[in-house]
A and B are shown apart, each in its own frame.
Chain A
Amino acid sequence: MKANNTLGLILFPAFDWAISPTHPEREERLLYTQDQLLEEGIEDIEGIHFFNPSVASAKDIDRVHFCYPSTKKLLTPSHFIAAGGVIRAFEAVLSGETDKSFALVRPPGHHAQRVVYGDRGFCIINTEAVGLAYARKKYGNMRVAIVDTDCHHGDGSQDIYWNDPDTLFISFHQDGRTLYPGTGAIEELGGPSAYGYNINIPLPPNTGDEGFQYVLEHVVLPILDEYNPDLIINSAGQDNHYTDPLTNMNFSAQGYANLNKLLNPDIAVLEGGYSIQGALPYVNTGIIAAMAGLDFSGVVEPDYHLGKWKQSSRITEQIKKISEDVLTIWQHKEALAERIFEGKSSVTRSRQVYYDTAGILESQTQEFITCPNCPGLDRIQSKNDRGASLIGITIPIRACPSCREKGYDLFEQTKSARGTKRYLQDLAHDKCIID
């Protein structure tokens, strides 16, 4: 068997790591997936290559996050390896080693926001964002679309790319009113420099293959066509599956494979998905086959019956309506942005972030200082209910010289804040200062 697209697989099940012995994110999670992939003979398909993950450095993490109290104290080796696995996936594609790549690593990352006090939704660091920041540093800035197909809203990725016009973030997920983390409404559209480039498509519980395909064909693909990214990334969470214990959707392995065929991502990264016996072995085989351009028609769950998971017509109508709303906003994003941000040199948002796994509550104020020549600066002031506080400033990779200077000035001014940890990310010159 020969792959039509060469594919790099970073399969790292971390058989010696768990959040806790009975946590869904435990040693067993990718055991059956690995069994299935080996038994299917994936290793012997011409054009599919297995790569070991790299190990990310603290600097790779600091390009994306403000980790409190420090990167090394918050992370376990498994996090450095999961991020390193994603870095390896970017490296494979951008160096031209393979056409596409898929990082099957754990733990996941899409709930990790820029500020990190601990574990949220099984994530501490946003592995994809770490990989992308590494790639942009090494290969130059690029326009990237991230399509998050996890059943939970990718609130971490949304936060990190909130004001980045070079990263289009599209998440479709089970409606936040019915599932963790609760965010992901259509109205969450992005900061002043990237308004409309954060796209949420909340779907009703019990959405099936048909609904996902509809959203993909009528919303996601047309928007991607227009955005014309250099790179498409699939945040390949697998918990939309009909057997997932934590969610209420009815997506199948065929559905996931078909989605990847249509989306045609350059890079996929495993996110959530905890039906480790009934879903992951088949969904991952399907995604791999689709990415490699192979026939996946035989990849079905043993208990799958066509028609059993067909969605109701009421849900179909709901999905049509949601899709229409999302598209209308996309088409009018410039006008909407003008109405909201016209004449403002700075935009502020305040919110609370709960770290469910760590049990920490954070209060955060974020200020976007706009600029006519570049995406502008971003300043976060944050404190948590354990008495910690931090200030973080991000100079974007495309910052103009005057914003860059201003960023350093702002950082100087924060010196007076006693007992507050200070961070500066100068992505334009790949420099991070923490003190």
Chain B
Amino acid sequence: MIIGIDMGGTNIDGVAIDEGRLIKHVKRPVDRSDYFLSIWGAIKELLQDVNKEKISRIQLSTTISTNAIVEKRISKVGVILQRGPGLSWEFDDLGDHVEDVSGSVDHRGIPIASAGTDELVRIRDDFSHHSVESVALISKFSTRNSTFEKQAADFLKDSFQNITMGHTLSGKLSFPRRVQTSYLNAAVSSTFQNFAINIRNALKREGIDAPIYILKADGGTIDLDGAIAKPVETILSGPAASFMGMSALLAQDHIDRCLLDIGGTTTDLFFLVDGVPVFEPSGIEIDGRKTLVRAIYSTSIGLGGDSYVRIEGGELKIGPKRMDHAIVFGGKYLTPTDALVYLGDMKVEHSQKSAEAIEEAAQALQMSAESFAKKIIAQFCKTIKFAVDSALQKIHENPVYTIKELLSDRTLKPESFGVIGGPAEALRGHLQREFNLPVELPPAFEIANAIGAALARPTVEITLLADTDRKILSIPELGVYEEIDKSYRLERAKDRALQEVHKASEAMGFASDIAEAEITEASSFNMIKGYYGADRNIRVKAQIKPGLITQAPLTQLKSRNEENDESK
């Protein structure tokens, strides 16, 4: 049995799933003064009448790290930068303890100069004097040569609670993003660690020793120890939970698809190519900071069931603001939900006030109330279509670097849509007409997020670089930095990358036959120096992409709550 918890901004949803069957579902409000107790409350409620021994894993999508960042409840971070030559990024949003050290490595990882120990001594003393708790160490091109970060971490480890080394967080290049990602990791590390300890102890007290996994923004999970080391990986997992839930609840075809999550205030869009999610090209942005944290591509528009509908200068406007609930649910301002109720698409108790508001606004445009309600919904759907088209355009414009990619005309073209959220059912027919494509409404979509959290499996991504001239092989994400011989070839690099991905997956309790490792990029460049001999610069990326723990036909999933409803 799997326990899945999704903690959102206002509510926590929890599910217990056993062999493709939804056993139980709970929903509780988030207590902003104590996130741990909020989550623990949901887990306890789920545990009430299930057999604890049957629990095989507990999977959490939490906003612990996200909230710590957004609410600025973070540790005091000291940042040490080895910038080397290059552009002058300011980094004025990393707090008061940012120090530069000398030295640099170049793009191939060749050391140019190293920082002196005296510099580190001075910085250590200064940080200690100012009660710095966590330290982030970032060197330009540390993914190519992590020597400085490792040596400095070794030197500082006894003086501070936590040390984050930039190269461990991603194999991607981007010094500014590595700086921000490392800073955030250091900033949330103790908050997350406290949470992790609490949850582990609480489960232990209940006599449960099932492994705990945390959802990441890329739709995969990481084990609790991994999350303690890289808590920044756990930020912004909410959209990924919805996405994975929708994937679980819809037919798992290998087609191009667009998924819509229509909430009260906003609508989130996601895309799949041949059944595989589209990712953010570089990494996710949080609190105005661009990071290297891999995430499922999602774009959010200010349009939802509760968006503010009004006439401005004779024109109908919807959103992006939400003022209140829909009038039909006791609010004061007209919303698309009121229009859906007026048209009979949403079956709720009739509200005189809601209908009057529609009629009144319709008069201002000299329309019948029905045409006006239709106009609202038509404009709502058109705005979504526009957002989908713009997002597709943006995805198509992502840079490519090979002739093969440029000349292949593979473009993402959704063949069907999936839609969830409060007004999803009522909007389905309207959207279908707008897109002229099938729009599917998954069953039990109200708890897609918790189901997504429950069923996501680990993802791993590694970046291998083998330079036969330097005779060095590195995989920054795994801390691998070792010697190779001159005869090293692409095939060996690919085998090694797959092996490492399998190993990482197995370490998280997943046999490699469940989660299949794949090579996503592989190239070998001839390096010519002088007139004799050629070396190779070999680059391989491998991953286990997001997927579901079970391949069971979850579309037939039926919650016991529903069964209870029927029996009532």
Contact of A12 (CB < 8 Å), options: B86, B141, B401: B401
Q: Check if B406 sits within 8 Å of A53, measured CB to CB.
A: yes
Instruction: Find chain A residues with CB under 8 A from B104 CB.
Output: 302
Q: Check if B89 sits within 8 Å of A281, measured CB to CB.
A: no
The main secondary structure of chain B at its interface with chain A is loop
Chain A residues with a Cβ under 8 A of chain B: 1, 11-17, 21-22, 24, 26-28, 31-32, 34-36, 38-44, 50-53, 55, 77-78, 81, 277, 281-282, 285, 289, 294-303
Beyond A16-B402, A52-B406, is A27–B526 a contact (Cβ under 8 Å)? yes
Q: Closest A-chain residue to B539, C-beta based?
A: A31
Instruction: Find chain A residues with CB under 8 A from B115 CB.
Output: none
Q: Check if B399 sits within 8 Å of A11, measured CB to CB.
A: yes
Q: What are the nearest 4 A-B pairs in CB distance?
A: A41-B176, A38-B173, A302-B112, A28-B525
Besides A39-B174, A55-B406, 6 new A-B residue pairs in contact (Cβ under 8 A), listed by A number: A28-B526, A36-B107, A52-B397, A277-B108, A298-B88, A300-B85
Q: Check if A302 sits within 8 Å of B401, measured CB to CB.
A: no
How far is A81 from B406 in the complex, measured between Cα atoms in Å?
9
B202 touches A (CB below 8 Å)? no
Can you identify 19 A-B contacts, CB atoms within 8 angstroms?
Answer: A1-B89, A14-B402, A15-B525, A27-B526, A32-B107, A38-B173, A40-B87, A40-B175, A41-B177, A44-B290, A51-B397, A52-B400, A52-B406, A78-B403, A277-B106, A285-B87, A294-B87, A295-B88, A302-B84
How distant is B125 from chain A, measured CB to nearest CB, in Å?
28
Instruction: Find chain A residues with CB under 8 A from B140 CB.
Output: 39
Q: Check if A17 sits within 8 Å of B403, measured CB to CB.
A: yes
Q: Check if B525 sits within 8 Å of A41, measured CB to CB.
A: no
**Most chain A CB atoms below 10 A, which of B83, B84, B89, B401:** B401
Q: Check if A15 sits within 8 Å of B402, measured CB to CB.
A: yes
Contact of A15 (CB < 8 Å), options: B176, B177, B401: B401
Beyond A16-B403, A44-B174, is A21–B526 a contact (Cβ under 8 Å)? yes
Q: Closest B-chain residue to A26, C-beta based?
A: B526
Q: Please, what's the 1-or-0 string for B387-430, where 1 marks a CB less than 8 Å from any CB in chain A?
A: 00000000001011111101100000000000000000000000
Chain B residues with a Cβ under 8 A of chain A: 83-90, 104, 106-108, 112, 140-141, 172-177, 282, 290, 397, 399-404, 406-407, 523, 525-528, 534, 537
Q: Check if A77 sits within 8 Å of B407, measured CB to CB.
A: yes
Instruction: Find chain A residues with CB under 8 A from B87 CB.
Output: 1, 40-42, 285, 289, 294-296, 298-299
Q: Check if A298 sits within 8 Å of B85, measured CB to CB.
A: yes
Instruction: Find chain A residues with CB under 8 A from B404 CB.
Output: 16
Beyond A34-B401, A297-B88, is A15–B523 a contact (Cβ under 8 Å)? yes
Instruction: Find chain B residues with CB under 8 A from A17 CB.
Output: 403
How far is A281 from B173 in the complex, measured between Cα atoms in Å?
14
Q: Closest B-chain residue to A16, C-beta based?
A: B402
Work out how many contacts link A and B, with CB atoms closer than 8 A. Answer: 116
Instruction: Find chain B residues with CB under 8 A from A35 CB.
Output: 107, 173
How far is A34 from B89 in the complex, measured between Cα atoms in Å?
18
**Most chain A CB atoms below 10 A, which of B141, B172, B176, B177:** B176
How distant is B22 from chain A, measured CB to nearest CB, in Å?
42
How far is A295 from B90 in the complex, measured between Cα atoms in Å?
11
Instruction: Find chain A residues with CB under 8 A from B397 CB.
Output: 51-52
Instruction: Find chain A residues with CB under 8 A from B403 CB.
Output: 14, 16-17, 77-78, 81
How far is A51 from B401 in the complex, measured between Cα atoms in Å?
11
How distant is B115 from chain A, measured CB to nearest CB, in Å?
15
How distant is A87 from chain B, measured CB to nearest CB, in Å?
14
Contact of B86 (CB < 8 Å), options: A14, A22, A52, A299: A299
How distant is A308 from chain B, measured CB to nearest CB, in Å?
15
Instruction: Find chain A residues with CB under 8 A from B525 CB.
Output: 15, 27-28, 31
How far is A281 from B106 in the complex, measured between Cα atoms in Å?
10
Q: Closest B-chain residue to A50, C-beta based?
A: B399
How distant is B556 from chain A, measured CB to nearest CB, in Å?
44
How far is A31 from B523 in the complex, measured between Cα atoms in Å?
11
**Most chain A CB atoms below 10 A, which of B83, B84, B403, B527:** B403
How distant is A170 from chain B, measured CB to nearest CB, in Å?
29
Q: Check if A298 sits within 8 Å of B86, measured CB to CB.
A: yes
Q: Closest A-chain residue to B143, C-beta based?
A: A39
How distant is A23 from chain B, measured CB to nearest CB, in Å?
9
How far is A32 from B140 in the complex, measured between Cα atoms in Å?
14
How far is A1 from B180 in the complex, measured between Cα atoms in Å?
14
Contact of B406 (CB < 8 Å), options: A12, A36, A38, A43: A12
Instruction: Find chain B residues with CB under 8 A from A285 CB.
Output: 86-87
Q: Check if B86 sits within 8 Å of A40, measured CB to CB.
A: yes
How far is A39 from B282 in the complex, measured between Cα atoms in Å?
12
Instruction: Find chain B residues with CB under 8 A from A302 CB.
Output: 84-85, 104, 106, 112
How far is A54 from B102 in the complex, measured between Cα atoms in Å?
43
Q: Closest B-chain residue to A294, C-beta based?
A: B87
How distant is A328 from chain B, measured CB to nearest CB, in Å?
41
Instruction: Find chain A residues with CB under 8 A from B112 CB.
Output: 302-303
Instruction: Find chain A residues with CB under 8 A from B108 CB.
Output: 32, 277
Instruction: Find chain B residues with CB under 8 A from A36 CB.
Output: 86, 107
Contact of B89 (CB < 8 Å), options: A26, A32, A41, A53: A41
How far is A28 from B174 in the complex, measured between Cα atoms in Å?
20
How distant is A402 from chain B, measured CB to nearest CB, in Å?
44
Q: Closest B-chain residue to A11, C-beta based?
A: B399
How distant is A132 from chain B, measured CB to nearest CB, in Å?
22
Q: Closest A-chain residue to B404, C-beta based?
A: A16
Q: Check if A22 sits within 8 Å of B401, measured CB to CB.
A: no
How distant is B474 from chain A, measured CB to nearest CB, in Å?
13
How distant is A238 from chain B, measured CB to nearest CB, in Å?
16
How far is A144 from B290 in the complex, measured between Cα atoms in Å?
40
Instruction: Find chain B residues with CB under 8 A from A39 CB.
Output: 86, 107, 140-141, 173-175
How distant is A57 from chain B, measured CB to nearest CB, in Å?
14
Instruction: Find chain B residues with CB under 8 A from A299 CB.
Output: 85-87
Q: Closest B-chain residue to A34, C-beta based?
A: B401
How far is A406 from B290 in the complex, measured between Cα atoms in Å?
62
Q: Check if A28 sits within 8 Å of B527, measured CB to CB.
A: yes
How distant is A362 from chain B, measured CB to nearest CB, in Å?
29
**Most chain B CB atoms below 10 A, which of A34, A38, A295:** A38
How distant is B283 from chain A, measured CB to nearest CB, in Å?
10
Q: Check if A43 sits within 8 Å of B174, measured CB to CB.
A: yes
How far is A413 from B149 in the complex, measured between Cα atoms in Å?
75
How far is A95 from B211 in the complex, measured between Cα atoms in Å?
57
Q: Check if A13 sits within 8 Å of B401, measured CB to CB.
A: yes
How far is A298 from B89 in the complex, measured between Cα atoms in Å?
10
**Most chain B CB atoms below 10 A, which of A44, A282, A294, A297:** A44
**Most chain A CB atoms below 10 A, which of B84, B87, B108, B406:** B87
Contact of A22 (CB < 8 Å), options: B89, B107, B175, B534: B534
Q: Check if B528 sits within 8 Å of A282, measured CB to CB.
A: no
How far is A1 from B290 in the complex, measured between Cα atoms in Å?
12
How far is A217 from B88 in the complex, measured between Cα atoms in Å?
27
Instruction: Find chain B residues with CB under 8 A from A40 CB.
Output: 86-87, 175
Q: Closest A-chain residue to B527, C-beta based?
A: A28
Q: Closest A-chain residue to B112, C-beta based?
A: A302
How distant is B93 from chain A, measured CB to nearest CB, in Å?
12
Q: Check if A26 sits within 8 Å of B528, measured CB to CB.
A: yes
How distant is B433 from chain A, measured CB to nearest CB, in Å?
34
Contact of B528 (CB < 8 Å), options: A13, A22, A43, A51: A22
Instruction: Find chain A residues with CB under 8 A from B400 CB.
Output: 52
How far is A297 from B86 in the complex, measured between Cα atoms in Å?
8
Q: Closest A-chain residue to B85, C-beta based?
A: A300
Instruction: Find chain A residues with CB under 8 A from B84 CB.
Output: 302
How far is A298 from B84 in the complex, measured between Cα atoms in Å?
9
How far is A50 from B84 in the complex, measured between Cα atoms in Å?
25
Instruction: Find chain A residues with CB under 8 A from B290 CB.
Output: 44
Q: Closest B-chain residue to A10, C-beta based?
A: B399
Instruction: Find chain B residues with CB under 8 A from A81 CB.
Output: 403, 406
How far is A302 from B86 in the complex, measured between Cα atoms in Å?
10
**Most chain A CB atoms below 10 A, which of B107, B175, B290:** B107
How distant is A169 from chain B, measured CB to nearest CB, in Å?
30
Beyond A12-B401, A40-B175, is A55–B407 a contact (Cβ under 8 Å)? yes
Instruction: Find chain B residues with CB under 8 A from A297 CB.
Output: 88
How far is A418 from B173 in the complex, measured between Cα atoms in Å?
59
